[in-house]
Amino acid sequence: MKAIYYKHLLYFKRPSGTSRGILKTKETWFLQIESNGKKGIGECGLLRGLSIDDRPDYEARLQWTCDHIDLGVDELWDALKEFPSIQFGVEMAFASLASTDPFELYPSAFTRGQAQIPINGLVWMGDQDFMAQQIKEKLEAGFNCIKMKIGAIATAKELALLAGIREQCAAAQMTLRVDANGAFSPAQALKILEALANLEIHSIEQPIGVRQWDAMKRLCSETPTPIALDEELIGIFDKTQKRELLARVRPQYIILKPSFIGGFKGSTEWITIADELGIGWWVTSALESNIGLNAITQWTYTLDVSMPQGLGTGSLYTNNFKSPLHIAQGKIGYDTNKEWQFNFK
């Protein structure tokens, strides 16, 4: 068995705003393994400035992984705990290699084109007109769950945008989520959570910054709007620490991004603990190319999910790989009449 890695730069169709700034490009890395003439592909979904493994030795660790690929997926996963995006790429590459079709990692009704997964439509930050235009597009596209990133423009303007959606669609017709990416202080947060509750917002992701467990615990116990932990999960590798966080803070939901939290095995650890504690969850992609998004989506389907997931980011790029993944009426599906356009090295 042999392995190589290489970098790929994705270009956004239009700059995409978060509370951390504007994204124009997205760097990603591919891990390709080969054995007996078969090839498998995995994506190491690094996100600069957010991934815990955004480190100077990242590429060196990719090379180490290639040099030690014969260790196999389980030993490599254990050895790569501080590099969750590489853990994810390793899991994906080995599953791809083992499959009859390197892009069908988890055969199911989904990959046969017989079932779809409900997803949220994502509204990126920008000025008020730009965000309003995105909302209009999502409504016209048939989404019944919209997630809006907040925390970059004036709160009053963001609340006005959400109120505008509510005027068009009642909560029974449209689920609204917001993602603050830790934009608010603990002192600000409760007032904002109360304002969101008046608009019947489903949940808010990461209202305050990470590692403020006491403040987050208070918010989760007092909030009228359910809170979902997102960035809070990043960098916690040990199962005991995972349980400690969730048992102490008691959020209403957690958000699972396999590239950030140790791939499918790491995500499954979080799910198991959350289920035991009665905490809800859903899965979200983290700006991977269609290679990574495909793996996450297929895996997510096997979890028998019902609520909308965060899997709608494949259409963001000008140079993404064409794939059978498609979105229609607020759901992601797999069109078996379409083929992958991806060239192995």
Residue 104 forms part of a structural domain: no
Residue 275's identity, in one-letter code, is D
Q: What is the DSSP string of 140-169?
A: HTT-SEEEEE-SSS-HHHHHHHHHHHHHHS
Instruction: Let me know whether 306 and 207 are in one domain.
Output: yes
Task: List the structure tokens of 121.
Answer: 């439509």
Instruction: Tell me which residues are annotated as active site.
Output: 149, 257
pLDDT of residue 304: 96
For residue 119, which of 320, 267, 282, 233 has the smallest C-alpha distance?
Answer: 282
Instruction: Let me know whether 249 and 147 are in one domain.
Output: yes
**Backbone phi, psi, residue 226, to 5°:** -55, 140
Instruction: Let me know whether 84 and 152 are in one domain.
Output: no
Instruction: pLDDT tens for the chain, 345 residues: list them.
Output: 999 999 999 999 877 655 556 778 899 999 999 999 999 999 999 988 889 999 999 999 999 999 999 999 999 999 999 999 999 999 999 999 999 999 999 999 999 999 999 999 988 777 778 878 888 888 888 899 999 888 877 889 889 989 988 888 888 888 999 999 898 999 999 999 999 999 999 999 999 999 999 999 999 999 999 999 999 999 999 999 999 999 999 999 999 999 999 999 999 999 999 999 999 999 999 999 999 999 999 999 999 999 999 998 778 899 999 999 999 999 999 999 999 999 999
Instruction: Let me know whether 183 and 260 are in one domain.
Output: yes
Instruction: Let me know whether 142 and 91 are in one domain.
Output: no
Q: Which domain holds residue 64?
A: 2-98
CA distance 174 to 143: 8
Residue 59 forms part of a structural domain: yes
Residue 342 forms part of a structural domain: no
Instruction: Let me know whether 235 and 320 are in one domain.
Output: yes
- 21-35/38-44 β-pairing: antiparallel
Residue 111's identity, in one-letter code, is T
pLDDT of residue 20: 58
Helical H runs in the chain?
58-67, 73-79, 84-98, 128-140, 155-168, 186-198, 213-222, 239-249, 263-277, 290-301
Number of domain units in the chain: 2
CA distance 250 to 232: 12
**Backbone phi, psi, residue 179, to 5°:** -130, 115
Q: What three-state secondary structure class fits 125?
A: strand
Instruction: Let me know whether 122 and 92 are in one domain.
Output: no
For residue 306, which of 51, 118, 106, 36 has the smallest C-alpha distance?
Answer: 118
Instruction: Let me know whether 213 and 182 are in one domain.
Output: yes
pLDDT of residue 18: 57
CATH number of the domain that residue 248 is part of: 3.20.20.120
CA distance 111 to 105: 9
Task: List the structure tokens of 176.
Answer: 């609204």
Answer whether 0.75 is exceeded by the pTM: yes
Angle between helices 84-98 and 263-277 (to 10 degrees): 110
Residue 273 forms part of a structural domain: yes
For residue 126, which of 236, 229, 17 has the smallest C-alpha distance?
Answer: 17
Residue 96's identity, in one-letter code, is S
DSSP 124: -
Instruction: Let me know whether 274 and 127 are in one domain.
Output: yes
As a residue count, the chain comes to 345
Burial of 36 (0-12, 13-18, 19+ CB in 10 A): exposed
pLDDT of residue 21: 65
Question: How many C-beta atoms lie closer than 10 Å to residue 9's C-beta?
Answer: 10
Residue 68 forms part of a structural domain: yes
pLDDT of residue 17: 58
